[in-house]
Amino acid sequence: MTAYLLLVLCATAVLAAPKWHELESYTFEHYELDYSKRYTAEERLLRKELFNRKLREIKQHNRDHTKSWKIGVNHLSDRTESELKALRGAIPTGVQKIHPSYHATEKIDLKDLEAQDVDWRTKGVVTAVKDQGGCGTCWSFATAEVIESYYAILTGQLSALSEQQILDCTPNPDECGGTGGCGGGTAQLAMARIQELGGLATEWTYPYLSYGGANFKCHYDQSTTPPFANVSNYFTLPSNEYAPLLQHIASKGPVAISVDAGAWSSYEEGVFDGCNQTNPDIDHAVLLVGYGVDAAYGPYWLVRNSWSAAWGEKGYIKVKRTDNEQGRCGMDITPRDGDGCKDGPPEVKVCGTCGILYDNAYPEVSKPSSK
């Protein structure tokens, strides 16, 4: 069975799953059927306990009418915390950033920008939501997705690009964002490696095989696996600053960002504001594709995740965007959990809801020399 078919099956198997307001009489047995879950007898006892605990949390949260978001049941509702953590990985500030450049407009009218509703999906430059499965490869998904968008902006050609090539072919000797492969990495490392290799292949010519959590050897060869897009360079915006990120999303394109996603697993809809802002743990790489203002709950960032279209709002989450986003800061005291290198600082300051302003990357793309 191909990786693509696995993704399709994962997405379609949960179309009949209940929404948050339909869970009053919902049971673990319903969950097994809705999500086609298969367990051994011993494992089933553990999964049932985890699910029932999560279901109680969901019902309690949704009874609180002061919350601006709802949580619900999804394919992750029977996972342990260590299994959920394995899905995450991030973009570290400890890595040298190639050619960082940001030239601020002399006068940025933030109020004018903030009033806009920006969604790069509507411009036809964002591919369909993907599913990383049981591999800790959010870093390669965020990298492939941001390159997809910038190549489409440049050429008008939108194609799903190979997360597996990034996963297989990106060394990580300094253990930045993890140990490499399904063990984690960074968008910066990935973009630099793609530049070295001379391009990134499509999903179809170098398909995703690590859905189950296995690592594979690099077999990228331009003669047999032609590159579709290349990275000429990559850039970053000033860390923990609101205006540059807002301006870039408004006028240039999506951005690969790092966030604390520790409380995201059960998100279903609404404007999320449930992160630990005192000690956020930056541990996940995702794609920021826009921002807007919710009629009921106010400003938000629009973020694409890689946990399938069955998660959240068809694979997306709206994260609260505040009037004082740049001043909403905390200290990540465990940067090695997701974004630190082995010789990096013991703690880092991160700002924005879920640390959304902390670190980011976007590519300069070009056509491969062979095209």
Q: Which position among 74, 284, 354, 360 bears the catalytic label?
A: 284
Across the range 80-91, mean pLDDT stands at 78
Active-site residue 305, yes or no?
A: yes
φ and ψ at residue 230, rounded to 5 degrees: -125, 160
Residue-range domain boundaries for the chain? 3-83, 84-366
Q: Which position among 305, 329, 341, 351 bears the catalytic label?
A: 305
Whether the predicted pLDDT of 56 surpasses 50: yes
Across the range 22-33, mean pLDDT stands at 95
Active-site residue 65, yes or no?
A: no
Q: Which fold has domain 3-83?
A: Helix Hairpins (1.10.287)
Residues 6+ away with beta carbon under 8 Å from 73 = 17, 18, 20, 23, 26, 31, 54, 55, 58, 266
Rounded Cα distance, 138 and 3, in Å: 16
84-366 classified as CATH 3.40.50.2000: no
Using pLDDT thresholds of 50, 70 and 90, give the confidence band for residue 337. Answer: low
Active-site residue 135, yes or no?
A: no
Using pLDDT thresholds of 50, 70 and 90, give the confidence band for residue 371. Answer: low
pLDDT of residue 174: 87
> Which amino acid is residue 318, in one-letter code?
K
Q: Which position among 10, 138, 176, 351 bears the catalytic label?
A: 138
Rounded Cα distance, 301 and 316, in Å: 10
Per the prediction, the chain carries an average pLDDT of 88
Across the range 67-86, mean pLDDT stands at 93
Across the range 282-289, mean pLDDT stands at 95
pLDDT of residue 296: 94
Across the range 53-73, mean pLDDT stands at 97
132-182 pLDDT tens trace? 999 999 999 999 999 999 999 999 999 999 999 999 999 999 888 888 999
Across the range 34-63, mean pLDDT stands at 95
216-264 pLDDT tens trace? 999 999 988 999 999 999 998 999 999 999 999 999 999 999 999 999 9
HEC per residue, the chain:
CCHHHHHHHHHHCCCCCCCHHHCCCCCHHHHHHHCCCCCCHHHHHHHHHHHHHHHHHHHHHHHCCCCCEEECCCCCCCCCHHHHHHCCCCCCCCCCCCCCCCCCCCCCCHHHHHCCCEEHHHHCCCCCCCECCCCCCHHHHHHHHHHHHHHHHHHCCCCCECHHHHHHHCCCCCCCCCCCHHHCCCHHHHHHHHHHHCCECECCCCCCCHHHCCCCCCCCCCCCCCCCEEEEEEECCCCCCHHHHHHHHHHCCCEEEEECCCCCCCEEEEEECCCCCCCCCCCEEEEEEEEEEECCCEEEEEEECCECCCCCECCEEEEECCCCHHHCEEEECCHHHCCCCCCCCCCEEEECHHHCCCCEEEEEEECCCCC
